[in-house]
Structure 1
Amino acid sequence: MSEVAAGMVVTVSSWVGEKTWEGQPEQVVQVKLDGTSTYYALLSRLEPLKKGAGVPTTTEAAGLLFTKVPESRRNWCEQFARRLLVSSDESTILIYSGSADDECAGYLALVTDTGTAKGARVLAQARRGPVQSVVLHQLPQGPALIQLDESLPANARVTGIRRTFLGLAKPALKELLSVDIRRDELAPEHKNSVLAEVEVTPSEQGLDIEVRRTELQVILATGAERSYVRQTRNYRYANGKLSPQQPSRRSELAP
């Protein structure tokens, strides 16, 4: 089963049947997020697109997304194109790659004028690490905020996941905040670890973001903790801009 994120465009490929979900009867359908991924979802959680919506097919989306991929590999990458609505009138979408393949991973494109006579127009493009998940944070006023979880670059010493917030104001897809929510780095005698919790809360002014970050250093030979640091930072996103809200709160313990 897959929880389809708000704004995600999927294709319902077949009806599976009625199942009991959380004690209630639900209609279950098979859905495709892209050309290769098949999941199951509750029909009641899906909302049909408006009649005549100009959302590009996965093939059309891939043609806009993978223009910088070598032509010999473009057909392979095309099957990983995913679509996310970022405007209420369905005229602007985010297209991104759901692949971890070195040649296909990390591509994003913000596209507008979908379904018009002139054809789709790419507003901005970017390339990040392999994308694990995308969440759209809408605001009553002002441009939305994209939350992206991506794998850190492949490295024998460093592994982890990074959460990045990208703005949709001009310039679109600009990185506003990046947090390593999990990072492990091996040194010859110790391991440095970072864990972070990121909480996004709507407010009257916009979105409040709190980052609670913990750093830990462990000696490999004994398992003893050599240092332990906790830090909290707060931000507010409004009118397309991100700003810190108060001084960091920091506590440190060390032997």
Structure 2
Amino acid sequence: MSLLNLKHIKKVFSEGNESEVQALKDVSFSVEKGDYVAIMGESGAGKSTLLNIIATLDQPTSGEIRLNGVELSHLSENEASKFRREHLGFVFQSFNLLDTFNNRDNIYLPLVLSKKSHQFMENKLAPLSQTLGIENLLERQPSEISGGQKQRVAIARALITDPSLLLADEPTGALDSNNTEKILSVFERINEKGQTILMVTHSAQAASYAQRTLFIKDGKIYNELYRGDQSRSQYLQKIIDSLTALESNGEVR
């Protein structure tokens, strides 16, 4: 059974009103455990809406979505909150770190909310901070470190709960090219260790690190690419070609 299954997801805002907007019309796809999937598309194509539905932050108008066999649209608000803490990790473009906490406490936050012991949190953080190269940043405040370092702290916070699925929303959007490369390499390494990743991105470079890329247009899956045994540069060119076709309404080959 797939880790994540979406079947005929539809999302309508202001349903029945004159201002009705169909953000998602009919989206179906699945994600296997260990996959690294990028989602691309023009602004307004429905990428963020789709991510919010997978994150249980919004409900589809119709359709079915299952993660680990759980039908997400059937969860109450409290159940959804608990499910997010236990099964999902989040990485955002704007980092979403709390400046009133040091970096260590920012990373600990999901475990604090789950009422884990301090020893448990320390044991989880030690190997994670080493993998991400943030051992020397833990006692500092978010305001005292660079954007790339903030994103590595945010990734640690997302991973410390051992999430079934890591959701990344434009994770390199606020970074320069050097830090972008470092963060994408981090995602590649954690995926190689078995972490399933679903990433929304405008960046063809970021998508070229994924194993698979979905393109959304007008609320539907327009095209899908698999990297297979292609080099990153070959896959990058395939992604660029698909984006060009997407923007010109041409046929993707």
- Structure with the bigger percentage of strand: 1
Considering only CA atoms, is the larger Rg found in Structure 1 or Structure 2? 1
- Structure with the bigger percentage of helix: 2
The TM-score bracket by the shorter chain reads: under 0.3
Q: TM-score by structure 2 length?
A: 0.28
